[in-house]
Structure 1
Amino acid sequence: MKKFGFLIMFISLAVVMGACSSNAQTTVKVGISGSDTTVWDFVAEKAKEKGINVEIVRFSDYVQPNLALAEGELDANAFQTVSYFDAFIEEHNLDLVPIATTVIAPMGLYSEKYDSPEELPDGATIALPKEATNMGRGLLLLQEAGLIKLEEHFDGNGSLDKIIENPKNLQFETLVAAQTPRVLPDVAASIINNGIAVDAGFSPLNDSIFHENETATPYINIIAVNKEDKDNEVLQQLADIYQSGDVKELIEEEYDGNQIPTFVPLDKIGW
């Protein structure tokens, strides 16, 4: 009888432990930069259904999230473009890799006078950010719009002498990025960074006459992890959740074109 009672207790304990195990959650720490957690809050809710507890860790700069990831304080981060990531890990000799793409915050070409790049007349003046990286991104945008052609193997650092074809003889007014919206009345068009455009009341998707899309691969944002974790099942599952249709719809509705969901294969971004 005692043996029977012990057996019942053992089975009951096993059932309880099994139930606890099935409800156990794996915690994943994800680092972001800034205070906007809208998308990751939504991803966290979806992940919870699959037994993944997402802990969002906020940073106020663009340096610490990568260092914290490399030191094992985070499991993943999601805040940076491919271009920034590639340069950072090379400079700091970090063993980090991307596991998924997320969004692009598109740079745009804006005009108060014309409705498309094709309408820009010969000799038109384009305002262009003068910082090397911003200018390089702007020149790539103009090339994508079919207005200029850049030298082969363009390295992304802006310089007007890297333009090898300019069939409309466009003129360029270079100025600090923050000034690019203010000169719109005085130029044919102006290239404006995403954040500056949004602050000026513009939607890149609705108000620009041309903007970046998924072909601007250096400027797509990514989810990054330590190289040793690139095949981790939980992190891959989290990446799949981010790239789901529900998250895509949320980004499109929430940001009105200020961020565009850009879910492309890693080989498209050089990985």
Structure 2
Amino acid sequence: MQLKRFAAAIAATAIAATSLVACGSETNSSNASGDGKVTVKIGTTDADQQAWTAFEKKAEEEGIDLDIVRFTEYPPVNPALDEDQIEISKFQTINYQAQYNASAGKDLRIIGSGEINILGLYWKDHDSLDGIEGEEVAVPNDPSNQGRAINVLVQAGLVTLKEGAPKLTPTPADIDESASKVSVVAVDAAQTPSAYNEGRPAVINNNWLSRAGIDPASSVAADDPNSELAEPYINVFTVKGDQLDNETYAKLVEVWHSDEVTEALNQDSGGTAVQVKRDKEELNEILDGLVEEYK
């Protein structure tokens, strides 16, 4: 029920927020210019990052001009794509897209993968897990991050889930406390750095690391980007279903994995972004599985 309520909230917010689209709402399909270049209207919330500067430059070298539509929030992007205000997006994880599809009754598809941002466990003045048994670990309490944070602890061997617990979306209630080495408390994501500064171990999202001045490389544990548990958090390129075979959009996925963009990603993320190459069939299989879980 919690997942359904959360998904419904996303749908309502998305519908209300479509006015936040930064550019016009007219349909704009890929068009070839007189010099043979193709223009693609792409939506993102990350346009100010170095990776997007490198992406735009590298795409131009490949004959693709990016018309970047800047969004300040997540909710308006998927509706903009569904309504043909943009042609493709690169801003969300598979998990977020699944929540949108399930709540809005849509079927946006994935044409390619980007990076995954590693989620880490941080413990002030510690460089390993030595001595962590018996500690209380703070994790973010929002539905999109809480399950992943708990799974960071599962992968680190600190937490054991009860039999029958949801694999990808566990909550603190799903933890077998008697079989676990640490206890878990869920707090607002913005409060996880405070827990860290108080000396408690905390799983902290990357955006809060930079705000709190915490070195991303100082984590004592982190999720494995190649683990099945991390798959929902792969960032993806999203299109409408009838564009899955669009060669220009597929080329953009290749450009994102270029050395230039990858290096810029490393700079943006403090080394916590890892490029992930998965084929679209596998990515959409993961997506569909999550959609069923959120329905």
Instruction: Look up the match of 1:55.
Output: 67
Separation in 1, partners of 2:212, 2:124: 14
Q: Which moved more, 1:49-58 or 1:156-165?
A: 156-165
- Correspondence for 2:138: 127
Distance across 1 between alignment mates of 2:50 and 2:104: 30
**Which residue pairs with 1:179 in the alignment?**
191
Deviates more, 1:78-87 or 1:186-195: 186-195
What is the match of residue 252 of structure 1?
266
Distance 2:33 2:84 in 1: 25
Cα distance change, pair 223–80 in 1 and its aligned pair in 2 (3 A): same
For the Cα contact (< 8 Å) 2:119–2:205, is it kept in 1? yes
Matched, 1:270 2:270: no
| 243, 250, 253: which one aligns with 1:229 | 243
1:19-38 matched pairs, under 5 angstroms: 23-38=35-50
8 Å CA contact retained: 2:136, 2:184: yes
- TM-superposed deviation, 1:250: 2.3
**Aligned residue among 78, 92, 100 for 2:112:** 100
Q: Is the CA contact (8 Å cut-off) linking 1:70 and 1:95 kept in structure 2?
A: no
Deviation at 1:188, TM superposition (A): 4.3
**Alignment-mate amino acid for residue 257 of structure 1:** G
Deviation at 1:160, TM superposition (A): 1.8
Distance 2:132 2:52 in 1: 44
Which TM-score applies when normalising by structure 2?
A: 0.76
Letter in 2 for 1:111: W
SS at match of 1:150: coil
Work out the percentage of aligned pairs sharing the same amino acid: 29
TM-aligned CA deviation for residue 104 of structure 1: 2.1
Say if 1:235 and 1:147 are closer, same or farther in 2 by CA, change over 3 A. Answer: same
CA contact (8 A) 1:131 1:158 kept: no
**Residues 196 and 202, structure 2, Cα contact 8 Å, conserved in 1:** yes
Deviation (angstroms), 1:197: 1.4
Tell me, yes or no, if structure 1 residue 149 matches structure 2 residue 160: yes
- Stretches of structure 2 lacking an aligned partner (at least 5 in a row): 1-31, 288-295
Deviations 1:74-93 (A, max 9, x none): 11001111111011012112
Distance 1:241 1:67, change over 3 A: same
Q: What's the TM-score once normalised by structure 1's chain length?
A: 0.82
- Tell me whether 103-112 or 219-228 shows the greater mean CA deviation: 103-112
Which among 222, 229, 241 is matched to residue 211 of structure 1?
Answer: 222
Cα distance, 1:64 vs structure 2:
1.4
Alpha-carbon distance between aligned partners in 2 of 1:121 and 1:61, rounded to the nearest angstrom: 37
Offset at residue 183 of structure 1 (A): 2.0
Q: 1:203 to 1:258 in 2, by over 3 A?
A: farther
Aligned to 1:115: 127
Give the aligned length.
250
Match of 1:40 in 2: 52
Alpha-carbon spacing, 1:239–1:176, altered in 2? closer, same or farther (3 Å): same
Write out per-residue CA displacement over residues 120-161 of structure 1, whole angstroms, 9 at most, x where no aligned residue.
Answer: 443122122233433222111111112122244616444222
Q: Does 1:140 align with 2:154?
A: no
What residue identity is the alignment partner of 2:79? L
The answer to which of 75-84 and 178-187 deviates more is 178-187
Cα deviation, residue 262, structure 1: 2.8
Query: How far, CA to CA, are the matches of 1:95 and 1:150 in structure 2?
Result: 32
Mapped contact 1:106–1:212 kept (Cα < 8 A): yes
**Which residue pairs with 2:174 in the alignment?**
162
Q: Is the 8 A contact 1:203 1:258 kept in 2?
A: no
Deviation of 1:243 after TM superposition, in Å, equals: 1.7
Q: Which has the larger radius of gyration?
A: 1
User: 5+ residue gaps in structure 1?
Assistant: 1-19
- Tell me which amino acid in the other structure corresponds to 1:201: G
1:98: Cα distance to partner?
0.9
| CA deviation vs aligned residue, 1:216-239 (integer Å, no higher than 9, x gap) | 111111110111001111111111
Q: How far apart in 2 are the matches of 1:183 and 1:228?
A: 47
| 1:213-268 CA-partner distances (Å, limit 9, x unpaired) | 42311111111011100111111111111122332122123432243333334416
Distance 1:30 1:37 in 2: 15
